[in-house]
Structure 1
């Protein structure tokens, strides 16, 4: 039997040492109401004070960061070959009719997996089927794949004119940048919002609501369009997500789709409304790697191992990830409204050996 990642690390004693700091607290409301510190494992040391600046701002507000969980699902797409396009279309209609039966099959693969949706694409004689599941507190990769395996067997046994091509047809979409996840959903879809009085924007972020709103449009929206971004308009979601994922035992490659999200900023009177929408957060509190001592300790400190209904701990973790992203995004955009501030921060916090070179070129 092959060893799991955790078992292999425990046997060999090999671990990658990544610097980690707890930052915060972040004040969160909406999904739950609590002040919570969060862990970030990163080699980019300026990330900690940057997120900390946004976190401290949240605690100056009664509601802090308001979080809303919009959706929660994991997907797996399979690829089948049909005799022709007509046979593929007939198969999709039959599968829609069989949905209750398919749900029963999935329920037999796990205590937590439930089939909640089915989408298809037909290209020539190729049939792409995208199954959508809820997976409890697990991120759900393996649970969805096992369920898809069983569904393939049933489909090929009961629907003529189809042949197996692959357990994954790339219509999932797993760990690749694509539009479909933001449209149909994959993982947790979380929106975080904050409303900051103009005086606090000036005192704490050293900028103004107007400059923040303008930079967001010109940099995050127009700049990303020019670059050909896919359903994404943000400054650096990936930075916070990677640090958070590594500290909490997540599959770090999921930041590829996880960092696809949209930052929105606008003036509301004299105040700044700022939000981050992350539609593809793939996180779990149960599964491979979660029993490693450091990970288990972090999840427990975050309150994500409490006795709750299935899925609630993972949704709480997703909210914490999204709130962390907002803190870092807010801080970076504010810094970028001021000439030289970003580089000064990196020079001071990340490369002290180059101070003299920068100040005395």
Structure 2
């Protein structure tokens, strides 16, 4: 007899939620990824997102393309250990940090792709918050770093018998939560997207001026984020584009929480043109792993050129991160331009959403 209070999962095959999906573009990328005429799939219920991102991609292509740069990449897992007192905790953790080669030897037994890059720690009372940072090839790496940490913990407890296990995750990772540490130390791919738009292109495609966009950026993205108490975030709606991109490419969509901590920067150049950039320090994406075997995901990864079997581990995932960042960049540029013009934003939603339900 089944206990009615026990967790239950249907024995039937899983069903799939249908989310509308369209490809938008074309995108032109330069820098760490070079590609012309790339169409990017976005799965979203917010239909105005498609033409908005496409507008940003179109004007950037006319300006020579979006320069994409991968500044850094790493996936993290923090573990929580306990010592008898803070002095011993500090002594142990400094000794642990000096044994990088020994730690990596243990990590290597868990995966042929996981490489320990660095460690950071915080001691709170007699607690050790140990942040482990890894490279994970083409995987986003959530499970890979957790498995590596699972191998490290018993080794550490054997090496340092005064320590005790508390948790495999200490919230110093930080996974799917808003924090400062990810932006400072890095989690996922750190991507910068930028373009310089000639004034005439701003006026022709975006129906605005460089000065208007910079002014709005200062008053909305920067000051507005300060007023609201935003944490390492100065953007208009990066989460919108990341969610659509993550759903279309088989990513763990909850990662938009830290992924949306993006920072826009805008200025008028001495020539009177617009420099605009979006910096995304926490893009967590992968081209292998759970969710990537679905037919539509494989089709989309192929369309994006992110399933090339002939490249070194990590190349496909870095390319995917660059495209994800560029997609967010285009949505940011287009929305800010729209919001410099009274009524334009709502008019687009009425035309593309409410008209279908009239």
Q: Residues 254-293 of structure 1 correspond to what in structure 2 (within 5 A)?
A: 254-268=255-269, 269-293=271-295
2:63 alignment partner, SS class = coil
Distance 1:255 1:332 in 2: 19
Question: Structure 2 vs 1, CA of residues 41 and 353 (structure 1 numbering), >3 Å: closer, same or farther?
Answer: closer
Matching residue of 1:333: 336
- Is the CA contact (8 Å cut-off) linking 1:9 and 1:15 kept in structure 2? no
- Is the CA contact (8 Å cut-off) linking 2:71 and 2:190 kept in structure 1? yes
2:18 alignment partner, SS class = coil
Question: Structure 2 vs 1, CA of residues 15 and 179 (structure 1 numbering), >3 Å: closer, same or farther?
Answer: same
Distance 2:212 2:341 in 1: 10
What are the ranges of 5 or more consecutive residues in structure 1 without an aligned counterpart? Answer: 1-7, 356-361
Matching residue of 2:5: none
With the length of structure 1 as denominator, give the TM-score of the two structures. 0.94
1:151-199 deviation digits (Å, cap 9, x = unpaired): 1111101113210000000000000000000000000000000100001
Matching residue of 2:6: none
- Is the CA contact (8 Å cut-off) linking 1:79 and 1:129 kept in structure 2? yes
Per mean C-alpha deviation after superposition, the further-off stretch among 114-123 and 92-101 is 92-101
1:264-308 deviation digits (Å, cap 9, x = unpaired): 010002100000000000000000010111111110111001021
Aligned residue pairs total 347
Distance 2:59 2:78 in 1: 42
Matching residue of 1:180: 181
Distance 1:221 1:10 in 2: 50
Matching residue of 1:345: 348
Distance 1:185 1:13 in 2: 34
Structure 1 stretches of at least 4 aligned residues deviating more than 3 Å after TM superposition: 8-11
Matching residue of 2:26: 25
1:94 alignment partner, SS class = helix
Distance 2:11 2:251 in 1: 18
Distance 2:11 2:238 in 1: 32
With the length of structure 2 as denominator, give the TM-score of the two structures. 0.95
Q: CA shift at 1:12, angstroms?
A: 1.9
Matching residue of 2:314: 311
Question: Structure 2 vs 1, CA of residues 9 and 73 (structure 1 numbering), >3 Å: closer, same or farther?
Answer: farther
2:157 alignment partner, SS class = helix
RMSD: 1.4
What are the ranges of 5 or more consecutive residues in structure 2 without an aligned counterpart? Answer: 1-8
Matching residue of 1:105: 106
Matching residue of 1:296: 298
- Is the CA contact (8 Å cut-off) linking 2:249 and 2:300 kept in structure 1? yes
